[in-house]
Amino acid sequence: MTRPTSHVDVLIVGAGPAGLMLANWMSRCGIKTRVVDKRGTKVFNGQADGLQCRTLEIFDSFDFAQRVWQESNHMLEICLWNPDKNGTLHRSDRIADTIPGISRFQQVVLHQGRIERFLLDSIKENSDITVERGVLPTSFNFNESKARDPTDYPITVTLKTLSDEEATPQQQRKSANGTVVEDGLFRSNLAPDDTEDMIRSAEQSARADQTEEVKAKFMVGCDGAHSWVRKQLGFSLEGDSTDYIWGVLDIVPITDFPDIRMRCAIHSANAGSVMVIPRENKLVRLYIQLQSTEVGGGKADRSKITPDMILKSAQRILHPYTLTYDYCDWWTAYQIGQRVGNNFSLQERVFLAGDAVHTHSPKAGQGMNVSMQDTYNLGWKLAHVVKRYSDLSILKTYQSERRRIAQDLIAFDYRFSRLFSGRPAMDVMDEEGISMEEFKNAFQKGNMFASGIAVDYGTSLIVAKPGSSAEQGDGTDVSSQSKHRVLSKQHLARSIPVGQRIPSHKVLNQADARPWHLQELLKSNGRWRVIVFPGSLTNQTNMTRYQKLGEKLSKANSFLRKYTPSNLPIDGIIEVLTVHAGPRWDVELLDLPDIFHPYHEKMGWDYWKVFVDDQSYHEGHGRVYENYGIDPGQGASVIVRPDQYVSWVGEMDDYEEMEEFFSSFMKVQPEEAMVQHVLNLDLRGFSPRLTDVEDIANLLLADCNAGRVGKRWALNYIKQQPELKTCLNCPYDYQRALCEDPERIQAWFNLVQNMQAKYGIEDADVYNFDETGFMMGVILPSMVVTRADAGGLAIGPKLEFRPVVPEDSPAFTLLRGVGASFKSGFIDLSFKIPTRGYLNYFEKAKHPH
C-alpha cells in the first residue's frame, strides 16, 4: 500500500509546554504546522508548576496571562528553616520570593496541565492547528542538498498512528494512603526510554498500515529528555548525574508546620531536605530528599519508590512537626543531574528545545519556563524565514542565544542543587557541611537568574552591541556580515540594556489619556518595533528632528515599505511607536507626521501608536524617560525584536543606522522589489510595458514553483502602488507613422548618424537602435509604467540621453536578492526580462517629421 504524503512548513514533535509555545507562535504567524505527540492525552495533573516573571510577561504578550494570574497561587515570600545548635528546626530567615520592581508580575505556581490548556486555547483562537495525539515518528531522513533553500523540503519523517493502549504510558499503580494515584515516573529520568518499545509494538500490531510520510521545511524536537529527534540527529547531552534522589508529592497536607503556605527551603540536621511549594486549590507540592545511590551506581530502583516511602522521608525531615494527608493528587521521583546538548540544530533546519537539550533539577522552577522560552525565541525566527521576511541566517542565533542560557542554567542548578541537598554545617570547622549563609546568598542571587529577567543575549546580526558573538554566546559565530557593522549607543538609553528584554513602565496614550505598561503594547504578533523617544516635542529642535525622521520613514523606498509585503499594512512587519516627553496637553496627535499615526481609508487614523510620559489621572506618573535613562532634550530610538528583546539603541533620528541594521538580515519583499525595479528602468529611460511587469511577476513566481498571475493582474497591481502610474510612451505622430516618404524620414536617419558620431556607436550595432528608443517603425504609442510624479508622457519634455546602466547596478542587485529569497542563487532579470523602453533623447515639440 502506498503511504499518503503531506507537506508542511513546520513539524513539531512533542506537545508539552515547549511544543505548544512554538505552535502558538506558528498559529499567530499563519505558518502551516503539524504537532504530533506519542502520548494519547495532554497532562491533567502534576509535572511542572512554577511560572517565573518573564514567562508571565510572555503569556501577557499572547493575551492569556490574566487567566494564569487568576487561577494560580502567588508566591510572595520564602522562609528558610535550618537546625539550631541543638539540631531542632527553626525559621532562620524570610526573603522576598520575587525581587521587588523587576517586573509587573511575580512568581506564581499552576500545574502544567492548565498551562497546556491555555496554550491550546490560544492556538485554536488563531488557527486550525491541532495536536495529533497518539502519533509517533518512526523514521527520519535529511537531504543535505536541500538545506540551504528555505522553500524546499529537506526533511522526511514517517509517522505512525498508535492505538489507545499503545499511546497510554504504564503506571506504577502504587498506593498513596490506600488509594492508587497517577504518577509521573514514566517521564522521570529514573525511567528508561519507551519509544523504541512503542515503535516495535506498533509495527507488530494490526494497525501496521497506519503510517504516513511527512515532508517538512523545518522540524523541531520538543520531545523531552528521552528525545527521539535528538537521537536521530546523533546529538548527545553532556554533563553528570549526582547520587541525590528526590521524591515529589502533590497533596492537601494535614500538618502543624506553621509555614506550609509559604515557599520554604528546609534543611534538617541529618535527615535530608525538603522544599515546600504551596499551590492552587489547597494543594502543596513537597520536594523531598530520599536517599543516595551507592558510590559509582547508576539509576535508583524506581520499583522501590512509593508515595508512602516519600511521605515517611518528609516526616523525618520535618520532625518535630507532623505531616500527613488524606488526598494525594500526583507523585513522582527523580535523580538530580545536569546536562546540556552539544548541538541545538542540524543546519538550521532541525531544532531541539526544552528538555531535549537541557535537563536539571526542578527545585528552582526553571524547567517549564526555560523550555517555553526556548521556543519563544525560536518561533518568530522560524515564522519570518518561512514567510520570507528574513534571511535563513537569523536561525543560527537560536543556538547561540539559547544554548548559552542552557549552559548558564546548568551552572546555576549545579551549585543550587548541591547546596540544597547537602547537610547543614554544624560549625565553621565542618568542611563537609553546607554553609546556611552561603545557601541564603545563593538563593537571593539566583532569584534574578531564575526570574528570567536577567537573560542577556550576546552580540549578533540581530543584537547590535560590541564584542564577540562567539564569546558572548555559546561559541557560534552569528556576527553581522554587513559591510558597516551597526553598534548601539547605549548611553542614550542607559536603562534599556541591548540584548535584554525591554523593561516596562507606564505611558499614556496621546489620544485618550489611558495608561499602559509599555510591554502591553508589544504583543507577540511577529512584528519588529521601532520605538522613538523624541524627547519634548515642544522643543523645536526635537520636533524638527522628529519630522525629518518621519519624512524618511514615509518615503517609497524606506525600510518600512521595502520589507513589508504589499498586502499588509505599513506596520505589518515593522511597527513604529512614539513615546514623547510631554506635556500631553501641548501636543496634538494630528500635527505629527502621518507615518507615526498611519491613516487607513476605512478605519481612519491609528490612535494607538503615539504615547507620552506624563501624569495619569488614576495611576500616577510612569517617569519613563527617567527610568529608561533617556535625556528628554536629546531623545533616542530603540529597535525591539518580536520577542521583546532590545536589538539596537541609537540617536532618535538616525534613520541610516536603523536601515543598515535591518538590511543585514531582512529580505526585500518581491512586490516592493518590482516597484524599485520599475522605477529604476524608468529612471534609465526604459519605462516597461504592462506585459513586462507581468513577466517580472511570473519569473518570481516560477522560481518558487508557484502559478502565474492573471490577465489583469499587472494593471491592478500598478493601481495599488502609489509610486507608479501608467501613461503613453510618446505622442502619436501620423506623419512619422507613415514612414513612406524618404524626405520625411531623412531627418530621423540624420539623427541616428548624429547619435553614432556623438557616442561612438559602431555601424555593426545600429540594429540595436530600434530597441533602444529610436522607434522608427512604430505606428502606435505604447502604454508603459513610470513613476507617479513623472509628466504626462514617459518621454520627458527636455532633450536628455540616459545611458544604459550596467547590469551590476543596485537595481539588479535588489532583484537578485529577491530571487535568492525564493530560490538559491538569483534571477538574472537583466537577461530574462524584455526591457523595450524608450530613451528620452529628443524634445516633444521638435520631433523630426
The stretch 226-230 carries a mean pLDDT of 94
Name the one residue in this structure whose C-alpha cell is 509555614.
259
The stretch 265-290 carries a mean pLDDT of 91
Quick one: cell of 840?
Answer: 528620452
How do beta strands 211-221 and 5-13 pair?
parallel
Q: What pLDDT band is residue 177 in, cutting at 50, 70 and 90?
A: low
Name the one residue in this structure whose C-alpha cell is 523504541.
196
* pLDDT at 187 (0 to 100): 61
Contact assessment for residue 212 and residue 148, using Cβ atoms and an 8 Å cutoff: no
Beta bridge mates, 323:
255
* Selection from 63-77, 686-700, 738-752 with the highest mean pLDDT: 63-77
Mean pLDDT of the chain: 83
* pLDDT at 805 (0 to 100): 47
Taking 50 as the threshold, does the pLDDT of residue 824 lie above it?
no
Question: Cα–Cα distances in Å, from 85 out to 79, 289, 315, 421, 674?
Answer: 19, 22, 21, 20, 80
What is the H or E stretch that residue 829 is in? helix 829-832
- 3-class secondary structure for 46-87? CCCCEECHHHHHHHHHCCCHHHHHHHCEECCEEEEEEECCCC
H-type alpha helices, 686-809: 690-703, 713-720, 734-738, 742-759
Residues 6 or more apart whose CB falls under 8 angstroms from that of 191 comprise: 185, 302
C-alpha closest to that of 190 among 378, 341, 79, 333 = 333
Taking 50 as the threshold, does the pLDDT of residue 773 lie above it?
no
Quick one: residue 200, left, alpha or beta (phi over 0 = left, psi -120 to 50 = alpha)? Answer: alpha
C-alpha–C-alpha distance, residues 790 and 529, integer Å: 34
Contact assessment for residue 673 and residue 693, using Cβ atoms and an 8 Å cutoff: no
C-alpha–C-alpha distance, residues 563 and 295, integer Å: 60
C-alpha–C-alpha distance, residues 94 and 79, integer Å: 5
User: Residue 691's CB: how many other CB atoms inside 10 A?
Assistant: 12
Amino acid residing at 794: A
C-alpha closest to that of 596 among 608, 584, 583 = 608
C-alpha–C-alpha distance, residues 278 and 263, integer Å: 6
How do beta strands 155-161 and 135-142 pair?
antiparallel
Share of the chain above pLDDT 70, in %: 79
What is the H or E stretch that residue 385 is in? helix 367-386
C-alpha–C-alpha distance, residues 383 and 362, integer Å: 31
* pLDDT at 812 (0 to 100): 42
Catalytic machinery residues: 49, 279, 287, 362
Taking 90 as the threshold, does the pLDDT of residue 818 lie above it?
no
Q: Where in the chain is the domain with CATH 3.40.30.20?
A: 486-663
How do beta strands 77-83 and 5-13 pair?
unpaired
Share of the chain above pLDDT 90, in %: 52
C-alpha–C-alpha distance, residues 635 and 542, integer Å: 8
Name the one residue in this structure whose C-alpha cell is 508589544.
522
Q: Where in the chain is the domain with CATH 3.50.50.60?
A: 5-450
CA geometry: angle 665, 667, 672, nearest 5 deg: 150
- 3-class secondary structure for 167-218? HCCCCCCCEECCEECCECHHHCCCCCCCHHHHHHHHHHCCCCCCEEEEEEEE
* pLDDT at 34 (0 to 100): 98
Between 706 and 607, whose confidence is greater? Answer: 607
* pLDDT at 815 (0 to 100): 45
DSSP codes, 104-133: SS--EE--HHHHHHHHHHHHHHH----EEE
Name the one residue in this structure whose C-alpha cell is 518595533.
529
* pLDDT at 172 (0 to 100): 58
Beta bridge mates, 333:
247
User: Residue 604's CB: how many other CB atoms inside 10 A?
Assistant: 9
Q: What pLDDT band is residue 432 in, cutting at 50, 70 and 90?
A: low
Contacts 24+ apart (CB under 8 A), 431-439: 434/267, 436/80, 436/82, 436/92, 436/267, 439/80, 439/265, 439/267
Q: What pLDDT band is residue 135 in, cutting at 50, 70 and 90?
A: very high
In 623-718, where do the E strands start and end?
Answer: 636-640, 646-650
Contact assessment for residue 320 and residue 253, using Cβ atoms and an 8 Å cutoff: no
CA 629 to mean position of chain CA atoms: 27
Residues 6 or more apart whose CB falls under 8 angstroms from that of 643 comprise: 376, 377, 380, 501, 524
Taking 80 as the threshold, does the pLDDT of residue 71 lie above it?
yes
486-663: CATH topology is Glutaredoxin (3.40.30)
Q: What is the pLDDT of residues 646-674, one digit of tens each?
A: 999 999 999 999 999 999 999 988 777 77
Taking 90 as the threshold, does the pLDDT of residue 206 lie above it?
no
Lowest mean pLDDT among 298-302, 373-377, 525-529: 298-302
Quick one: cell of 541?
Answer: 529642535
Between 606 and 294, whose confidence is greater? Answer: 606
Name the one residue in this structure whose C-alpha cell is 538559491.
824
Taking 50 as the threshold, does the pLDDT of residue 280 lie above it?
yes
* Dihedral of the alpha carbons of 596, 600, 606, 610, in degrees to the nearest 10: 0
C-alpha closest to that of 820 among 385, 397, 483, 396 = 385
Q: What is the pLDDT of residues 15-59, one digit of tens each?
A: 999 999 999 999 999 999 999 999 888 777 777 888 999 999 999
Q: What is the pLDDT of residues 572-610, one digit of tens each?
A: 999 999 999 989 999 999 999 999 999 998 899 999 999
Q: What pLDDT band is residue 612 in, cutting at 50, 70 and 90?
A: very high
Taking 60 as the threshold, does the pLDDT of residue 825 lie above it?
no
CA 345 to mean position of chain CA atoms: 16
* CB half-sphere exposure, 13, CA atoms < 13 A: 32
Q: What pLDDT band is residue 359 in, cutting at 50, 70 and 90?
A: confident
Name the one residue in this structure whose C-alpha cell is 495536536.
131
Q: What is the pLDDT of residues 454-512, one digit of tens each?
A: 999 999 999 999 988 778 877 788 877 766 689 999 999 999 999 999 999 999 999 99
* pLDDT at 690 (0 to 100): 83
* pLDDT at 571 (0 to 100): 95
Beta bridge mates, 126:
none
C-alpha closest to that of 412 among 457, 376, 448, 458 = 448
Residues 6 or more apart whose CB falls under 8 angstroms from that of 21 comprise: 119, 371, 372, 375, 376, 379
Beta bridge mates, 265:
80, 275
Between 401 and 715, whose confidence is greater? Answer: 401
Q: What pLDDT band is residue 706 in, cutting at 50, 70 and 90?
A: low
The CATH H-level superfamily of 5-450 is: FAD/NAD(P)-binding domain (3.50.50.60)
Contact assessment for residue 248 and residue 276, using Cβ atoms and an 8 Å cutoff: no
